[in-house]
Amino acid sequence: MKLVRYGPKGKERPGLLDAEGRLRDLSGVVPDIQGPVLKRLLPRLTRLNPTRLPLVPGRPRLGPCVGGVGKFVCIGLNYKDHAEETGAAYPKEPVVFLKATSAISGPYDPIVIPRGSQKTDWEVELGVVIGRTARYISEAEALEYVAGYCVVNDVSERAFQLERGGQWDKGKSCDSFGPIGPYLVTRDEVPDPQNLRLWLEVDGRRYQNGHTREMIFSVAQLVSYVSQFMSLHPGDIIATGTPAGVGLGQKPEPVYLRPGQVVRLGVEGLGEQRHRVVAEED
């Protein structure tokens, strides 16, 4: 099932798409699609008849597909071709960092180039949404703790990330740098997360064309691994890394985003995002 959150920023309501792709209001069933609600909602969805839910008129804005995210965990260098294009060695263990939850935005909201940025970049990724509290879980049981999947754009400012010292987080956490959605697609609709194509284009030019089977560490490995170091709670998100084709890796020179450009990206079966690039207002 495809779950959504729709409405003005900060006032999103829960919804879902029915079999005909029409938006239905879920607010009579749950107050929102977020952490603790996910654990209660997912079993109820199997008994829910979407045609009995109210239709939502018009074409409202779609917000982030999960609200109240507690942790936005990201995995770096998880595709061999991406590690190669950046000149990095393949990691022996997953590279884990956190993106600030204040970076989260909707699937069609603008990407805002922050003040002082010259190297704002793109990264299409498969996002994993946690559905049950996970702590010290095994790889074999890891997918049972997944609520579903979504598209993530791990927008990155490379100078902030790589040239300003310290950790990566400050190049990953600017406002608008974490679009998620359009949908939270429940786990039952994604039988194998290692069998999904993902892509990204800027102004109609395809830069990224990847496949999740090329991950160095699988979704199950990542969920298990992260749970050894921190508790994962319902509504937490793990962004699982990006394939080759980021702006930093373009030859003969890197290519970065500029105001006025349009970024489109998608993951097979999980929908597409579309963002206009704008400059930060003074």
Q: Give me the CATH number covering residue 160.
A: 3.90.850.10
Number of structural domains, the chain?
Answer: 2
Q: Are residues 127 and 218 in the same domain?
A: yes
- Asked if residue 61 is part of any domain, the answer here is no
The string of pLDDT tens digits covering residues 178-233 is 999 999 999 999 999 999 999 999 999 999 999 999 999 999 999 999 999 999 99
**Residue 84 domain flag:** yes
Residues 169 and 140 in one domain: yes
Query: What is the C-alpha to C-alpha distance for residues 89 and 115, in angstroms, rounded to an integer?
Result: 32
60 occurs within a structural domain? no
Q: Label residue 273 by pLDDT band (50, 70, 90).
A: very high
Residues 88 and 216 in one domain: yes
62 close to 4: Cβ distance less than 8 angstroms: yes
Q: Are residues 255 and 138 in the same domain?
A: yes
Mark whether 125 and 163 lie in a shared domain: yes
Q: Say if residue 48 is in the same domain as residue 135.
A: no
The dihedral through the CA atoms of 21, 68, 106, 205 has a sign that is negative
Give yes or no for a cis peptide into 259 (omega within 30° of 0): no
- Do residues 132 and 243 both lie within one domain? yes
Q: What is the mean pLDDT of residues 145-160?
A: 97
Cβ neighbours, 10 Å, residue 281:
6
- Residues contacting 58, CB < 8 A, separation 6+: none
Domain contains 65:
no
Percent pLDDT > 90 in the chain is: 89
Residue 187 lies in a domain: yes
Co-location of 9 and 126 in the same domain: no
Domain hosting 113: range is 72-279
pLDDT at 81: 86
213 lies in a domain?
yes
Identify whether residues 154 and 17 lie together within a single domain. no
Cα separation, 149 vs 129, in Å, equals 6
